[in-house]
Structure 1
Amino acid sequence: MTHATILQQGTIHCFPAGLRDQKGDLVNAEVSAVVYDGKRLILASDKPIPGEQRSAVFALPMTSQGPDDSELEYFTTPLIKQAVKYEDFALTADGRHVLATTGFDRIDDVSHDLNAYNHLLIWPLGEPDKVQVVDPDPRDGVAGSLELRRKLDHAIGFPYYKIEGLAAIPGERGDGLLVFGIREQGQSHDDFAYVSRLVGAHYEISDQGNLVLIDEMHDLYAFEPGDHESVRFECGLSSLEYDPYHARLYLLTSFETEQDGVPHIGGYLWVMGLEDLPSGRQPTLVTTAEGSPLEFEHKAEGLAVLDHERLFVAYDNDRHMHLGSVDERDERHACEAPYSLLHVS
C-alpha cells in the first residue's frame, strides 16, 4: 500500500489581487497544471491571466519553506501566451524538456477560431523562450497542434473529448512513450461521460528539439475509479505524473458534483507500476497513514513529483472559494490557488 501524509498546505498568489479582465470581471485563479523542474514549480491556469507582461503559465521557486510566490515569473513568449486552457505539464522521460498540453476539447475546422485550445508545446528545461508547437498543421499561418488532434481523434473515437493528463514514460521505442489522459468523452460538451482513459504513442526528440511521434496513437489503459468501494463520487482523470524515482505512474482523479442540493468537490490519488500498464492491472488508491482513503477536500487538478518522497498537489476549485483546512480563513481571494505538499511512503 502507498500512504500519504500532508506536510504543508497553503495558497499561491498567482497575480495581483483585484485583477480584472476586459469585461471588468474579477479574474479567478484556476490552476490546472504543475510540474517541477528541479528548482522551480511551473504552473498554469486553465483560464487566461490578462496583462501584456502576464500569461497563464508561470514559475516560482520551491524552497524548503514551500513555494515562494514573491519571486513569481510569467512565461510571456508569444506561443505560450497563444495557447488557451492548459490542462497538464510533463517532463520528457529523460527530464530534459518540458511538455504542456491544452484540453483539446473544442475545435472549429472552418474558421480556426478555436485552434488556441489545441496545443501541445515543448521547450528545453529552463528555456521557455525556445518553445515549439508539437505536430503542427502543415499549412502556413494555421496555429495549433492540428496534426496531433487528428491522431487523437482517431485513437479516442469520439467527436468530443477533453485531455487533462500528460506524461512521458520510458518506452520500448525511441525516446519514450507519450501518454495522454482523457477525462471526458462523448458526443458533445453536454453529452459525455467521465472517464479515466489513457492513449499514447512512442516519440523521439528531433535534432531541432521538437517531439515527433514515431508510431500510431493507440489505447493504453483505462480504469473506473467508482469500482473502488471507497470512492464516494463519480470521478474523471485530472492529471498524470511519472515518478522516475520509483518507475511508477500517479493518476489523479477529481469530482465536482451536487447531491441533494449540496455541492461536493474533491479528488483521489492513485498509483501503479509501469509494468501494470500493459497488463491492465487496477491502480492502487493512495491512503492516509492510518489506512483510510486519501480524499482531497478540494478539486485536485495538478500533480508534481518533487523528489523520492514528496508530491505537490494543486487545486482548481473553479468558483468555489472556501479554503477548508488549507487556511484559517474561510475563503480565498480570487487570485489565490490552494495547494498541498504530501509525503508519500
Structure 2
Amino acid sequence: MTYRLPAITLTILLFAVGCKTAKLSTGKLPATATITEEGFLNCFTAGTSLNGQPVWCEASAVLYNGKNVFFANDKDMPGGQSPVFMKAPETLADSTKPPTYLTAAPFSQGTKYEDFAQTPDRRFVLLTTAFDRVKPGGHDWDRFNTILYWRSGDEQHPHVLAPDDTSRTSIAYRQQIAQLLATEEFPGAIPYFKIEGLAATDKQLLFGIREEGKSYESFTYRAKIISVSYSVEKAGEADRIRLANDWKIVNNFDIASADPSLPKPLAISSLEYDPHRGCFWMLTSMEANGQLDAYLWVITPSDLYANKPFSLVRNEEGQPLHTPGHKAEDLTPLDHNRLLLISDDDRARTTIGAQVRQPNQAAYTILTIK
C-alpha cells in the first residue's frame, strides 16, 4: 500500500459535485479502497491551554458540505474558541491558515461531540454528542446529551434537537434510547450507553451505539444501529426538525463473527450515509494496549434495515483496509470516489512518515474508492 504525504492537493475538493437526490438507492457496493493521502490538521494554535493544562485536539467528527470541511473536538476549548470549527478544503494541511471557530453559544454548551451527519439533500447538518454521561438528581452532565442541527450555510444559528424550542440539551431523548436498549440483564432501561455514529436519510436519523452496559467502567463494545423518523416543520421563521416516537433497533452487527481474524475489541466509531453511492459506510475502531486502529465497512440500505452484516472493505491486495496507528473516528464523502477520515488518537504521539503529531494536531486520511 502506498502512503503519500499531503502536498496541499486538496484544492480539487472545491469541485466536488454534490448529490441533490434524497432517494436511497441500492447500487453496487465498492470492491476496494486505497489510502491515497495522509496528513496532520492543525486544530488550533500550538501551546493552547485550558485551566493550566495543554489542550489536545482529539478530533472525533468531520463533515464536508460541498464548500467547507467541518470538524469537532470531543474536548472543551478555551473562551473565544470552540470545539467545532471549519477550514477550507485546500487548507487542511496548511498550518498558516487557522480554522474558523463556530462560536454560537450552543456549540460551547455541548460536550464530547462524536459525529456529524448531513441530510442527503444537503439541507441540514447535524452533530451529536456521546450521550455517555448523566448525573442522577442533577443537570450538570446534561450537556453530554446534545444533538445540534442547522440549515446548511447557516452554521451561526444552530438549534438544539428537542421536543420543544427552548431546551438547551437533548436530554429528553435519553430515556427513550435507554428503554430501547433494555436487555435481560438490564430490563426496563439500560443504565449506560455511548453514541459514536450518526447518519441521516431523507426520513430517518440513525445512531451508532458503541458501548452499552452498567456504567462507563463496565460495558460491552457494540456496533448496534438504532433509527428514528424525523420531519421538518415551520416554527416562525425557522425550520425545526422534529423526531417521531418510533425508535427501533435496525441492525445489531457482530464484528467478531463477520471476520474472526480482526483484532479485538473493535466497535463502531462512525456511521455515514453516502448519497453519491447510495450506501452506508461504517468505521469500527479500537484502542487497546497502546494499539490504535480502525477498519472500514459498507452496506446497502436494504441490507442494513434487514439486519444483514456489513461488508469489510479491502485494499487492492485483498487485505482488510485499515488505519494502523490511528483511531479513525468519523468519515465524510468528498465526492463519488473519495472519503475523508479524521482520527481521534487521544494523546498519543502518533506519526505519519517522519512527522510526529503535536498536541494541537489531528491525523486525517483520504481514501480513494475503486
Q: TM-score, normalised by structure 2?
A: 0.85
- Contact 1:271–1:286 at 8 Å: present in 2 too? yes
Partner of 1:31: 59
CA displacement, residues 312-338 of structure 1 (integer Å, 9 cap, x when unaligned): 010101011121xx2312x21100101
* Uncovered stretches (5+) of structure 2, i.e. residues with no partner: 1-29, 183-189
SS state of the match for residue 343, structure 1? Answer: strand
Match of 1:313 among 320, 341, 365: 341
Q: Output aligned runs, 1:189-338, within 5 Å.
A: 189-207=216-234, 208-227=238-257, 228-258=259-289, 263-297=290-324, 298-323=326-351, 326-329=352-355, 331-338=356-363
2:129 counterpart of 1:102: yes
- Contact 1:137–1:147 at 8 Å: present in 2 too? no
CA displacement, residues 177-198 of structure 1 (integer Å, 9 cap, x when unaligned): 1100000000111110000000
Q: How far apart are the structure 2 equivalents of 1:226 and 1:232?
A: 9
SS state of the match for residue 276, structure 1? Answer: helix
Q: Output aligned runs, 1:128-207, within 5 Å.
A: 128-135=155-162, 143-157=168-182, 158-170=190-202, 176-207=203-234
The CA deviation at 1:137 is 6.8
Q: How far apart are the structure 2 equivalents of 1:136 and 1:215?
A: 11
Among all aligned residue pairs of Structure 1 and Structure 2, give the percentage whose two residues are the same amino acid.
36
- Contact 2:60–2:115 at 8 Å: present in 1 too? yes
Partner of 2:152: 125
Q: How far apart are the structure 1 equivalents of 2:164 and 2:179?
A: 16
Q: How far apart are the structure 2 equivalents of 1:89 and 1:120?
A: 10
SS state of the match for residue 76, structure 2? Answer: coil
SS state of the match for residue 156, structure 2? Answer: helix
Partner of 1:173: none
SS state of the match for residue 101, structure 1? Answer: strand
2:46 counterpart of 1:20: no
The CA deviation at 1:278 is 2.4
- Contact 2:251–2:308 at 8 Å: present in 1 too? no
The CA deviation at 1:68 is 4.9
SS state of the match for residue 295, structure 1? Answer: coil
SS state of the match for residue 296, structure 1? Answer: coil
The CA deviation at 1:253 is 0.5
The CA deviation at 1:150 is 2.2
SS state of the match for residue 209, structure 1? Answer: strand
CA displacement, residues 216-240 of structure 1 (integer Å, 9 cap, x when unaligned): 1111101121221331221110011
2:70 counterpart of 1:72: no
Q: How far apart are the structure 2 equivalents of 1:215 and 1:160?
A: 21
Q: How far apart are the structure 1 equivalents of 2:36 and 2:305?
A: 34
Q: How far apart are the structure 1 equivalents of 2:177 and 2:204?
A: 15
Partner of 2:76: 48
CA displacement, residues 152-204 of structure 1 (integer Å, 9 cap, x when unaligned): 1222221100000000024xxxxx11100000000111110000000111111
* Uncovered stretches (5+) of structure 1, i.e. residues with no partner: 171-175
Q: How far apart are the structure 2 equivalents of 1:25 and 1:68?
A: 25
Partner of 2:34: 5
Q: How far apart are the structure 1 equivalents of 2:161 and 2:106?
A: 12
Q: How far apart are the structure 2 equivalents of 1:67 and 1:242?
A: 26
Q: How far apart are the structure 1 equivalents of 2:314 and 2:177?
A: 33
Q: How far apart are the structure 2 equivalents of 1:102 and 1:250?
A: 19
Q: How far apart are the structure 2 equivalents of 1:230 and 1:320?
A: 26
Partner of 1:83: 110
CA displacement, residues 130-152 of structure 1 (integer Å, 9 cap, x when unaligned): 211111578x6x63112222221
Q: Which amino acid aligns with 1:237?
A: I
- Contact 2:39–2:93 at 8 Å: present in 1 too? no
Q: How far apart are the structure 2 equivalents of 1:270 and 1:134?
A: 28
Q: How far apart are the structure 2 equivalents of 1:137 and 1:108?
A: 22
Q: Which amino acid aligns with 1:143?
A: R
Q: TM-score, normalised by structure 1?
A: 0.91
CA displacement, residues 257-284 of structure 1 (integer Å, 9 cap, x when unaligned): 12xxxx2110100000011022222111
- Contact 2:163–2:242 at 8 Å: present in 1 too? no
Partner of 1:341: 366
Q: Which amino acid aligns with 1:307?
A: D
